[in-house]
Amino acid sequence: MTLNPPRAVPDAAADPFGERPRGRVSLCRQIMGGSFRFESASAALLDLVEAAYAGLPPHRFAMSVPEFHVELRLLPRRASPPAAAEPPPVRMQSGAGLLCGVMDASNYVVLAPEQRRALVVAAADMLDRPYYLRYELIEFAVFTLATRGLGLVPLHGACVGREGRGILLLGASGAGKSTLALHSLLQGLDFLAEDAVFVQPESLLATGVANYLHVQADALRFVDDGEIRRWIDTAPVIRRRSGVEKFEADLRQGHGRLAPAPLQLAGVVFVSGRAADDPGALLAAVPADEVAARLRADQPYASGQPGWHAFQQWVAQTGAHELRRGRHPRDAVAALCRLLDG
């Protein structure tokens, strides 16, 4: 065995782990209170980063802005890429201070939260499936780093508000959170997020990524404005893992106001798919002794994360409401406005 290989040894032997890739370009964006630097030798991967994070309001908290580093690496197109309509679901693994999200041997994320670093690896054929690559690999890396690095509670929900105050919208998939968020935007409320909301438990400030709105085609029946209908109707259609197809409308095209800063939470609302018994009374207080159990059932992942206890205590003290469906989504928006004014 020799420790001094000849100069003719190929790059794979000189750099077996690929630690010295050439031609990398850096792109910096402020996201959810953190400063993210993305590096890649692939223009296509950096284009997906821009699609996700360009043009967003630069949210920040009172604390100093932590820095995060995400490296994106593109592997060659596979000779026989999977023929399935969608890639395998991401499987989670952890150990030795690392978090991993693995689709398959060519598509995965490795995160080192303590170092505030992530590596996203994707095969070139995944560029044919940009939604999954962006949403399940790139955005997964960003959300996880921000959650761990900023001490945020990650919630599956939406958030809208005005004048710096926000209402957190929770509820099962299909309950109507996205439709309600859309009509809140159309009625002049600030739009923070419609799928994932991140709360700082000490300050109760909420942030998110207001890049896209995902709504089903039947939501258009409540939209009268022709320009808004065209904005949604001409948007790309994505397919969720559940099989549900939704329009993915870019919120940065000027249809409404994006929350310019984190919103101070003023209330929590569980959105219900059930019709109200009285169309004039859509909101009802959740009994105090049911709030904690309902929160845990609605947010199984978040309930096991640091900061959950403080967040749950605040909700228990403030109270929560259930919002049932009225004749039109704007009636629900009016109910949220009354809650914001209260």
pLDDT digit string (tens) for 214-242? Answer: 999 998 999 999 999 999 999 999 999 88
Query: Are 142 and 91 in the same domain?
Result: yes
Q: What is the spatial distance between Cα 262 and Cα 201, in angstroms, rounded to a whole number?
A: 13
CA distances from 179 to 218, 229, 235, 247 (A): 10, 13, 16, 12
Query: Are 144 and 197 in the same domain?
Result: no
Query: Does pLDDT of 104 surpass 80?
Result: yes
Residue 155 is predicted with a pLDDT of 98
For residue 4, the 8-state DSSP code is S
Domain presence at residue 8: no
| Tens digits of residue pLDDT in 17-37 | 777 777 889 999 999 999 999
pTM: 0.92
Query: Contact 89/132 with Cβ under 8 angstroms?
Result: no
Q: Which of the two residues, 136 and 80, has the higher pLDDT score?
A: 136
Residue 46: domain span? 23-78+85-150
Domain presence at residue 12: no
Residue 10 is predicted with a pLDDT of 52
Domain stop point among 150, 184, 199: 150
Query: Are 191 and 321 in the same domain?
Result: yes
Query: Does pLDDT of 196 surpass 90?
Result: yes
Residue 3 is predicted with a pLDDT of 46
Query: Residue 217 belongs to a domain with what CATH number?
Result: 3.40.50
Query: Are 177 and 320 in the same domain?
Result: yes
Q: Which of the two residues, 261 and 174, has the higher pLDDT score?
A: 261
Query: Are 326 and 214 in the same domain?
Result: yes
Query: Are 176 and 322 in the same domain?
Result: yes
Q: Which range scores top for mean pLDDT: 22-26, 63-67, 81-85, 154-158?
A: 154-158
Backbone angles phi and psi of 12, in degrees to 5: -60, -30
Mean pLDDT of the residues in the chain = 92
Domain presence at residue 166: yes
What is the total count of domains within the chain? 2
Residue 21 is predicted with a pLDDT of 75
Domain presence at residue 144: yes
Cα angle for residues 212, 336, 200 (degrees, 5° grid): 60
Which of 33-47, 75-89, 104-118, 220-234 is predicted least confidently? 75-89
